Structure 1
Amino acid sequence: MELDVPTTLGPGRLVIDAAEEPRAVLWIGHGAGGRKDAVDTLALAAALPGLGITVVRFEQPWRVAGRSVAPRPAALDVAWMAAAPHVAEIAAGLPLIVGGRSAGARVACRTADDVKAVAVVCLAFPLHPPGKPERSRIDELLQPTVPVLVLQGERDTFGNAEEVSTAIVEAAASSEPVSPRGIRVVAVPGADHSMAVLKSSPLDAPGVARLVVETVRGFIDELV
């Protein structure tokens, strides 16, 4: 089911894959590439409803309008928050987990507390622009006060799984107000930022999809 939602930036769209007897709702945002059907998010939408978890995918207004370039982060947050009351109606009091891939993961982290999420799922969190590790976004990943799961490719040029884990520990050591115990990083073997793998990678594409689904399911199972 699809639901258009008004925002000050134009209409956004919620794509809802509903569980018959839901116990939780996972609300996911897409990346700067604007694909609600990215391999990882599509795998979650296909598998989790059968496990009692409704999946709601949000298309940002710029993507609904057919534009190919994402606006600034603040605009992404504005549209996401405009959709929040509609997602709350869908959740109807059930636990809400927010998440997204890449830029969508950043939005989820920045707004998790505002939407009263019980957890955050980050798919390919963009720790830094490719080749520019000095421009770290670790502060955004540390922002939620609820548990965070990060699924990160080993070949991610925006920061691989090891880089993300190291940044969390270093931030905690430098007196950041967040314990690294609240953030779980799971490496996706051989995967890049889009979760694509090489022929020589330990996992093939279906294997990556299974890993994503099983890890997210296990994370949610611990919460609800």
Structure 2
Amino acid sequence: MRALPVRVDAVLVQALIAAALSFAHLHDLASAAGQDGWKAWAYPVSVDLLMVAAWRRLRSSEAKAAGWCWFLVALTASLGANVATAGLLDLDDVPAWLRILVAGWPAVAFLGGTLLAHGSPNPARVPDTPLTVTAPEPNAEEGETPAVAAELPAAEPESALPSPSMVPPALVALARKVADEHRARTGTPIDTSTLRARLGVPMPLAEAIATQLT
């Protein structure tokens, strides 16, 4: 398997070196201000994360005021630590005001990170546009407003007679027997309503049977 060539990005290397130096300066300043152990290492992480969160807000949001505010706060903390460790301050005898700033930084970073993570940008305001309803124009020839009607298929009439060929012969024979009994008992031909009631069939089918009995 052929090895892929490794391309070294000079800009990325420079960024990593600068980040490592800034990280070390923040650690040294926090340690000199009385934050020893793991707490001294957490300070540079807090500063860098706040700066990244502010930069993301600047890149992805329209409300950039909060992003710029917290980006400058994180940048000031990082730049201040770099300058402070350049020999301007005696790290063996850190002044009280610097100890106060270092001790209060976690609360500031927590507040900034929370606002950047959960703060929503101002939504774009939708102009209040009145709703206009346009009535249909009247018909020029008839002078009436055309009505909108849904085109529905025409329903089949309930009284549509089925074809005589669709009536089962056995049902016709039974109907003929019922009609003969009715004539023998009453002396009159059976009507369609009585035939439907005796057979228990729908009226259209009873009418179709009646046509075959005549």
TM superposition score category, shorter chain reference: under 0.3
Structure having the larger proportion of residues in strand: 1
Larger relative contact order (C-alpha < 8 A, sep ≥ 6)?
Answer: 1
TM-score scaled by length of structure 1: 0.23
TM-score between both structures, scaled by the size of structure 2? 0.24
